[in-house]
């Protein structure tokens, strides 16, 4: 990625990781990602906001060299995770006059994870400012977005919000600015679902605080820079709200066809009742797609066969994910088949304890579904449709 100015005196100096396809050995990256770092040059001081993942450190150095940067006064750490802060030890070595600036929790974590020396650190508080000469940085502590030490930086004169992981997206492109709204919105939704959704209530509070701040540009640590902040702010206002869509997410596994028949019948029954359905075969659906589908679905109905005495392992994994991400889902249900018995209802409902959702009456059948099972699925569809209508 070439160095590009964001506003006068602020330059994007991070790197694009076109080839990365897995983050934290967990999150799929179909569109790669970026590690955004921003150089701010005041008339008196120079600050670098975040670094890059260590394998990309040579690119950061090349960008600084291209800009003729021989001195950095402040290294601002918004977040201790290594994709942002992993290159800090090298930067502190190469720029011996630089001071590492962050909040107390972040500095403690950086000492634990990266062994940064305490004598090179400066702790700041919420609302504290740092003057660079015509560029004033204001620090906003935003815990649990998405770690306990995360913070943002607001550049007062240019009204730029450096938002760290908040409003980010795993997205690789050569231009740092928004160029493809549809692709960006899809990537941002997925990123929100995978990383931010468990902290929806905290994000909503932080956004309420930001509502009183005039923001001209949002520059996150992953993905694109927004010169029209309303684009991403409006999306987030919807995602963190309590509003859900008239939609059922139906993740399932079928071993010998019985559960699949139930899924197909319920899908058609819901569709006839004007309820949108998104079906996800868990043997072919990746984690990111499932997470994104959870963002605003009013209902989740899980379909599974019995394996030994419990649900299929792929369903167990999906239930764990749903519980961990804590979507605003209002209703959850379970349908499936079994050969001789077991406790998969208790297993799956017990795994969804973090959801503030009503548990619907399960529909289970021994062997192949027949007329009585299909009637029970119709009643389930009736109940879901009525509950959705009551939501308005």
89-142 per-position pLDDT tens digit = 999 999 999 999 999 999 999 999 999 999 999 999 999 999 999 999 999 999
CA distances from residue 341 to 303, 308, 311, 319 in whole angstroms, order as listed = 16, 8, 11, 20
CA–CA distance from 281 to each of 286, 304, 314, 362, 384 (Å)? 10, 10, 10, 19, 21
CATH number of 4-240: 3.60.15.10
Hey, how many other C-beta atoms are within 10 angstroms of the C-beta on 350? 11
Instruction: Say if domain 247-386 classifies as CATH 3.40.50.360.
Output: yes
Report the C-alpha gap between 366 and 364 in whole angstroms: 7
Question: In the prediction, which pLDDT does 82 show?
Answer: 96
- Say if CB 331 and CB 358 are below 8 A apart: yes
Q: How far is CA 132 from the centre of its chain?
A: 32
The DSSP secondary structure of 269-308, one letter per residue, reads HHHHTT-EEEEEETTT--HHHHHHHTSSEEEEEEEEEEET
Query: Three-state SS for 333?
Result: strand
Q: By C-alpha distance, which of 34, 8, 37 is closest to 159?
A: 8
Residues in the chain: 392
Q: What is the pLDDT of residue 342?
A: 84
3 state SS of 25: coil
pLDDT at 26: 87
Task: Give the single-character DSSP code of 215.
Answer: -
What is the reported pLDDT for 2? 66
What backbone phi and psi angles, to 5 degrees, belong to 242? Answer: -90, 5
Residues of the chain within CATH 3.40.50.360 domain(s) are: 247-386
List Cβ neighbours of 126 (8 Å cut-off, separation of 6 or more): 103, 139, 140, 141, 151
**pTM for the complete prediction?**
0.95
Alpha carbons within 13 A on the beta-carbon side of 298: 18
Residues carrying CATH 3.60.15.10, the chain? 4-240
The per-residue DSSP string of 216-276 comes to: SEEEESSS-BBSSTHHHHHHHHHHHSS--EEEEEEEE--SSSHHHHHHHHHHHHHHHTT-E
Cα dihedral 357→360→365→369 (10° resolution): -110
d(Cα 203, Cα 143) in Å, to the nearest integer? 9
Q: Which residues of the chain have pLDDT under 50?
A: none
Distance CA(44)–CA(48), nearest Å, equals: 14
Task: Report which DSSP code applies to 8.
Answer: T
Strand locations in 36-191, DSSP E? 38-41, 46-49, 74-76, 99-102, 121-123, 129-131, 136-141, 151-155, 160-164
């Amino acid at each position: 990625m070439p160095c590009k100015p964001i506003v006068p005196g602020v330059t994007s100096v991070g790197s694009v990781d076109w080839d990365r396809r897995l983050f934290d050995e967990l999150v799929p990256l179909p569109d790669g990602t970026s590690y955004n770092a921003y150089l701010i040059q005041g008339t008196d001081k120079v600050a670098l906001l975040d670094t890059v993942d260590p394998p990309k450190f040579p690119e950061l150095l090349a960008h600084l060299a291209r800009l003729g940067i021989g001195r950095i006064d402040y290294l601002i750490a918004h977040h201790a995770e290594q994709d942002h802060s992993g290159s800090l030890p090298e930067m502190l070595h190469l720029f011996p006059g630089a001071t590492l600036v962050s909040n107390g929790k972040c500095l403690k974590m950086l000492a634990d994870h990266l062994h940064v020396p305490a004598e090179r650190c400066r702790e700041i508080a919420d609302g504290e400012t740092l003057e660079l000469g015509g560029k004033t940085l204001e620090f906003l502590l935003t815990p649990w977005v998405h770690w306990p030490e995360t913070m943002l930086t607001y550049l007062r004169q240019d009204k730029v919000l450096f938002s760290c992981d908040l409003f980010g997206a795993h997205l690789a492109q050569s231009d740092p600015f928004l160029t493809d709204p549809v692709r960006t919105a899809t990537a941002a939704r997925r990123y929100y679902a995978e990383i931010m959704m468990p902290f929806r209530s905290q994000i909503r509070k932080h956004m309420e605080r930001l509502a009183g701040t005039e923001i001209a540009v949002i520059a996150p640590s992953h993905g694109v820079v927004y010169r029209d902040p309303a684009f991403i702010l409006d999306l987030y206002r919807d995602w963190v709200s309590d509003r859900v869509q008239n939609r059922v997410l139906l993740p399932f596994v079928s071993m010998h066809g019985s559960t699949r028949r139930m899924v197909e019948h319920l899908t058609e029954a819901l569709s006839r009742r004007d309820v949108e359905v998104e079906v996800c075969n868990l043997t072919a659906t990746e984690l990111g797609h499932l997470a994104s589908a959870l963002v605003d679905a009013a209902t989740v109905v899980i379909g599974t066969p019995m394996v030994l005495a419990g649900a299929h392992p792929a369903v167990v994994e999906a239930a764990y994910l749903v519980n961990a991400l804590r979507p605003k889902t209002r209703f959850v249900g379970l349908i499936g088949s079994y050969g001789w018995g077991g406790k998969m209802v208790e297993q799956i409902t017990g795994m969804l304890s973090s959801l503030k959702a009503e548990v619907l009456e399960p529909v289970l059948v021994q062997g192949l579904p027949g007329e009585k099972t299909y009637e029970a699925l119709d009643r389930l569809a009736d109940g879901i449709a009525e509950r959705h209508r009551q939501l308005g």
